[in-house]
A = this chain, B = another copy of it.
Amino acid sequence: MERPKNGAHVLHGQSFVSVTQLDTDGIASLFAIADKMKAMVKRDGSCDLLKGRILANIFYEPSTRTMCSFAAAMLRLGGQVIPVNESSSSAQKGETLSDTIRCLECYADVLVLRHPIKGSAAEAAAAASKPVINAGDGTGEHPTQALLDLYTMQSELGRLEGLTITCLGDLKNGRTVHSLVQLCARYGMRVHLVSPASLRLPADVLRAAAKGANGWSLYEEHQSLDGPLRQSDVLYVTRVQKERFASADEYDAVKDAFIVSAETMQQAPANMIVLHPLPRVNEIAVEVDDDPRAVYFRQMENGMYVRMALLAALLDGDVFARLG
């Protein structure tokens, strides 16, 4: 993928529904924009790149941090934000998603959509004439989360190719991990999967990842972090929820194997980083927060830079030239 001659990103004018829309060049150029955004925010706080543009932040289910992250991203680019909490309004009057989108796009230049039903982002993108960004569609994708996870690895470790990542926790229900595993495959990462037997990564996610893989291999580990921990560049932690288990006994039997403590960190490599999509409950002990390898709050901050990059890429046809 060549950078378009006119200075636009490949996503310019498009909706962004799935990470499959980006190849590694598209991701690399997006991350290059994100780096510039980060430097700009540290230096100036905000800029005027998207002055006069409006983002509609449409959430059919609450997600404080994703909503805030997109809002902050747009505001720091000089744009404006209209929050739309749809749970209590037109949807109750029986309006279709397509109609709601066609109405809201009358007011905005870009639409961010969080919706509980898989496929709704694609449906919205098809209805809209303005760019739609998928901010999570149920068991579907949450592509900006996957990108910010990847961006954090690159920022912290300086590369993506050939890394070894260990995913820990509930790998069955974690949409975040599903998208991430598929991205990691493209970079030839080694992926270790550590989960309770009943919460393993679904077979179809594995198959999809394998299809796009660049010479990678999977190690599935049951109920023990011990082996993969020592080989990991990245430990990606997700929550193991009690209510996913058939019985409280079953949960109690395994839960301690999925908690990252100071003791866990003692056995981990000195350069390994710990990621978590947040919110966490108790799967990472608070004592770990002060460990320099705990980067999950920086990961959260990176989300803003990646979303700034995405908004600039979608809306500004000359983004590369403008950012210098």
* Interface residues in chain A, defined as those with a beta carbon under 8 Å from any beta carbon in chain B: 44-47, 51-54, 56, 62-65, 68-69, 71-72, 75-76, 80-84, 86, 88-90, 93-96, 99-100, 102-104, 106-109, 278-281, 286, 297, 300-301, 303-304
Contacts and interface: CB of A to CB of B under 8 A. Distances in A.
Given A68-B107, A279-B95, A82 B75 contact: yes
Given A64-B86, A72-B82, A297 B106 contact: yes
Contacts of A75: 54, 80, 82
A243 to B, nearest CB: 12
Given A106-B300, A301-B106, A94 B281 contact: yes
A137 B319 CA distance: 44
Closest 7 CB pairs of A and B: A72-B107, A46-B52, A95-B279, A106-B301, A45-B52, A64-B89, A62-B89
A217 to B, nearest CB: 34
A82 B54 contact: no
- Most B CB contacts (10 A, CB to CB) among A64, A65, A94 go to A64
A69 B83 CA distance: 12
Contact of A304 (B46, B53, B69, B107): B107
A270 to B, nearest CB: 24
Contacts of A96: 286
Contact of A99 (B99, B102, B279): B279
30 contacts: A45-B52, A45-B53, A46-B52, A52-B76, A56-B68, A62-B88, A62-B89, A64-B84, A64-B90, A65-B103, A65-B104, A68-B84, A68-B107, A69-B106, A71-B82, A71-B107, A72-B107, A72-B108, A75-B80, A93-B279, A93-B281, A95-B278, A95-B280, A99-B278, A99-B279, A102-B300, A106-B297, A106-B303, A106-B304, A107-B304
A300 B103 contact: yes
A127 to B, nearest CB: 10
